[in-house]
A and B are shown apart, each in its own frame.
Chain A
Amino acid sequence: MYVSPIREPLIKGNKDYSQVTRDIMAPMAGKPSKYWYMGMALAGAAALMGAWASYETVFNGIGTWGLNKTIGWAWDITNFVWWVGIGHAGTFISAILLLFRQKWRTSINRSAEAMTLIAIACAGFFPLIHMGRLLLGFFIFPYPNTRDLWVNFNSPLLWDVFAITTYFLVSLVFWYVGLIPDIGTVRDKAKNKIRKAIYGFLSFGWTGSARHWSRHETISLVLAGLAAPLVLSVHTIVSFDFATSVIPGWHTTIFPPYFVSGAIFSGFAMVLTLLIVARKALNLEDYITINHIESMNKIIILTGSIVGIAYLTEFFIAWYSGVEYEQYAFFNRAFGPYAWAYWIMMTCNVITPQLFWFKKIRTSLIATFIISIFVNIGMWFERFVIVVTSLHRDYLPSSWSMYKPTLVEVGLYIGTLGLFFTLFLLFIRVFPVIAIAEVKSVLKSSGEHQKHAHHE
């Protein structure tokens, strides 16, 4: 396929196929580095804190949280939505960018999707723990039972159960189907018998047959076609949790697309945070180049600006509607007791990403890293602002209240961060972080050396 010479190469350096295999598999070989152990120790400690907080929650009850009768939903749902949002980038990259034939996705889709799966696991933890009685968590599924009850299909919380479960399962399958050929490569490169047997089992007997490849491509494409609306549906349904209610600041029709856009925004920020470190630590700078970072930054500007427009629209319509409760909800957000959270959100989500309009900033690793952290923070506060400021002062001033998290709640959040990084560090050691076969398939058209040879 012809590629215009003015396009930048996607893969740097003079690579052949074998070199690609070796480069990408290098982080899996040998003993892990000192930094890996340090990261593991830190993440493990954080996960331990989460274990303590879970223990407190389960054995002493939800009373250990800072909730009260006005604010019955705060920290847990904020974290749930934040993690689900982060889980949107992976499938967006591998499904929607596949449909749009963005070849640069091949270097980042594998790790982004692993991140998606881990983030959804972290997200799922919050609804489960907030039930208080973890062992009865299966009550949320519709199954014939002796209580003669069915679940409430009118409830957006139940839609969430279906959406998150489906999203996790389909993403898992999508990720694993893409991983199978690469596991085959790992199997064939394995030196010792046990390693060969394990990867042999996991590779599902992959041979690289052209017939299999052809069908593999077909199902990848159809899975992408299915996953693309699925990504949109998941955060849409999460937004329904709020928007179907009649709470001022929650009930607004723009929520579905605005939440989806915010989710992709925060997901890309997290992918950038991780990959800027990973590409350096794993020596993958030739594969995840500045061009990749720049492309992701462009998506950050796009989604960040959509989120910004949604903020403004909400604010404007709150005034335009003439409904005083709506008007107060938004006034209270910007100038009430939680104004600090609101302005952190505005600064991090609307203002800082706009710096990416400057090419210098969006091609700078340090600037990108800092801004990506800002976006992560901003998007956490966005959910906090939506959840808490709308609840703490609604229709009845007599029941107005304030919310403050307890150490247990903070511990739960830190725990999921620990879980996230632990699993990600394990993933780096166990599977190839870049889709080897996919990179090879674009090497001819977009590799640096090959490209030049082609045009001379």
Chain B
Amino acid sequence: MDNNTFILSKKVINISLIMIAIGLISLAYGYFGGLGAGRIAANILMNTFYFLGIALIGLFFVAVHAIAESGWQVSVQRIGEAMSRFIPVGGILLLALFSLGGLSSLYEWTHTEHLDAILLKKVGYLNVPFFMIRFFIYFAGWIILAWLIRKTSLKLDVDGDKFYFNRLRTVSAIFIVFYAVTSVTSSFDWLMSIDAHWFSTLYGWYVFSSMLASGTAVIIILLYVLKRMGYMTHVNAEHVHDLGKYLFGFSIFWAYLWFSQYMLIWYANIPEETVYFYTRLKYFNTIFFLNLVLNLAVPLLVLMTRNSKRMFAVLLPVSAVVFIGHWIDMYQIVMPGVVGKEAGIGLLEIGLTVGYAGLFILVFFHSLSKAPLVPKNHPYFKESIEYHTNY
């Protein structure tokens, strides 16, 4: 493994800069083309949240495996760590959105001058100062813990000291606990409060499961890209198989939560609750069903066999489908509440997503070049390399 250092090539930088440029151009098009503040804000929110979620799942991946003491993931651990570097970037973008007038175009409850009776009851939680305080708490926690996990992981790589091994587990446990609470409340804050009258207790976990599936898809895609560049040669079909199983399992888990939320609201048929699905089925019919096809039917049917989870030839297209599928899920979460039936997928939506992807790639590869690609001194490194299972 001579290629244990990732070199950030000019080509990568150029590609990502072009993608970012596309994003900026589409944003300018949206602004000058008169698409409306609501649609622009909704696009920024949706994409920031989507890529922020993927970054958080990268960190979650590292943390959860550290406390579960699993061995196989050590060889792909750096991918998760590097993904988490996008968290502060996402924070800055969200802060920019919220401070540059995004709040009033996104959230009905910020218009304090004409709140209805129901929203008046929620003012204790849905008010701008408290909203921003929570925002800073989430990001302070995430950024500090991401930094601690990364730092500990790098120190562990120096000589595999048991002290740092245990410290990594402790820090990871703290992150998991903090994230368990904040992942729920942050999606209540930023997404559920768009439809401010509506509520669902499952919502936070539903959004989390969506991020889990898309985050795993991104890990698989990035692993493939790195292998194509000639890195990560030690990663074999067994590792890919495990990631494939995750993608398969998380897709089913997402569908399970989707069904639980939808079925219970459909069954009880209480107007306060059904209003959410009513607009989505009426004005976003195609998106609504496409969501299920891309995120459940495709991974379920294609990844059922063992071989399809082990071959990039199959797994990569499925990951791409899931990645797009959960983007669409995010679209149907954000758009109906902010833009309503005028929403559509045009140059702004696609171009801006390309821009965000470019930014994400740039941050990711930049971070990857800062440390050895594989933590060779991790106590479980050998386990991860000599890795073969019967299933």
Interface size class for chain B?
A: 35 or more
**A240 CB–B CB distance under 8 Å:** yes
Cα distance, A240 to B268, chains bound together (Å): 11
Residue B133 interfacial (CB < 8 Å): no
A130 interfacial by beta-carbon distance below 8 Å: no
Tell me what chain B mostly uses at the interface: helix, strand, loop, or mixed. helix
Contact B383 A2 (CB under 8 A): yes
| Residues of B close to A1: CB separation below 8 A | 386, 388-389
Shortest distance in angstroms between A26's beta carbon and chain B's nearest beta carbon?
Answer: 30
Separation of A260 and B379 alpha carbons in the complex (Å): 34
When chains A and B are docked, how far (Å) is the Cα of A305 from the Cα of B173? Answer: 12
Given contacts A254-B202, A309-B181, contact A246 B270 (CB under 8 A): yes
Chain B residues with CB under 8 A of A245: 268
Number of A residues near B (Cβ < 8 Å) is 37
One digit per residue, 1 when the CB lies within 8 angstroms of any chain B CB and 0 when it does not, for chain A 141-178 equals: 00000000000000000000000000000000000000
B272 and A254 contacting across the interface, CB-CB below 8 Å: no
Stretch at the interface among B45-53, B95-103, B117-125, B321-329: B117-125
Q: Are A4 and B252 in contact (CB under 8 A)?
A: no
Which one of A72-80, A312-320, A380-388 is at the B interface? Answer: A312-320
Contact A320-B267, Cβ < 8 Å, known A1-B389, A4-B382: no
Tell me if A232 counts as interface (CB < 8 A to partner B): yes
Please name the residue on chain A nearest to B390 by beta carbon: A217
In the complex, the answer to whether B199 meets A321 with C-beta atoms within 8 Å is yes
Stretch at the interface among B216-224, B227-235, B253-261: B253-261
B residues less than 8 Å from A217 (CB atoms): 390-391
- A99, A100, A257 — which one has the most chain B CB atoms within 10 A of its CB? A257
CB neighbors of A among B150-199 (8 A)? 162, 165, 177, 180-181, 184, 188, 199
Q: Are B383 and A244 in contact (CB under 8 A)?
A: no
A309 and B199 within 8 A (CB) = no
A94 to nearest B CB, angstroms?
A: 14
Distance in angstroms between the alpha carbons of A309 and B205 in the assembled complex: 11
Please determine whether A236 and B260 come into contact, CB atoms closer than 8 angstroms.
Answer: yes
CB-based contact B181/A322 at 8 Å: no
Interface flag for A323 (CB, 8 Å): yes
Query: Complex formed: what's the CA distance from A433 to B61 in Å?
Result: 35
Chain B residues with CB below 8 A from A310, complex form: 201
Is chain A's binding surface mostly helix, strand, loop or mixed?
helix
| Chain A positions within 8 Å of B202 at CB level | 252-254, 256-257
Query: Do B181 and A6 touch (CB < 8 A)?
Result: no
Instruction: State whether A320 and B122 are in contact (beta carbons under 8 Å apart), knowing that A2-B382, A244-B267 are contacts in the complex.
Output: yes
Whether B204 lies near A251 (C-beta < 8 A) is no
- Whether A123 is near chain B, meaning CB under 8 Å from some CB there, is no
Q: Give Cα A22 to B374, complex, Å.
A: 45
Q: Do A253 and B162 contact each other (CB < 8 Å), given the known contacts A4-B380, A240-B264? A: no
Contact with A244, one of B69, B252, B264 (Cβ below 8 angstroms): B264
B265 close to chain A: CB less than 8 A:
yes
Are A253 and B180 interface neighbours, CB within 8 A? no
- How distant is the Cα of A201 from the Cα of B37 in the complex, in angstroms? 76
Determine the distance from Cα of A26 to Cα of B17 in the docked complex, in whole angstroms.
70
Top-7 shortest CB links A-B: A254-B201, A253-B202, A256-B260, A2-B386, A322-B121, A244-B267, A321-B199
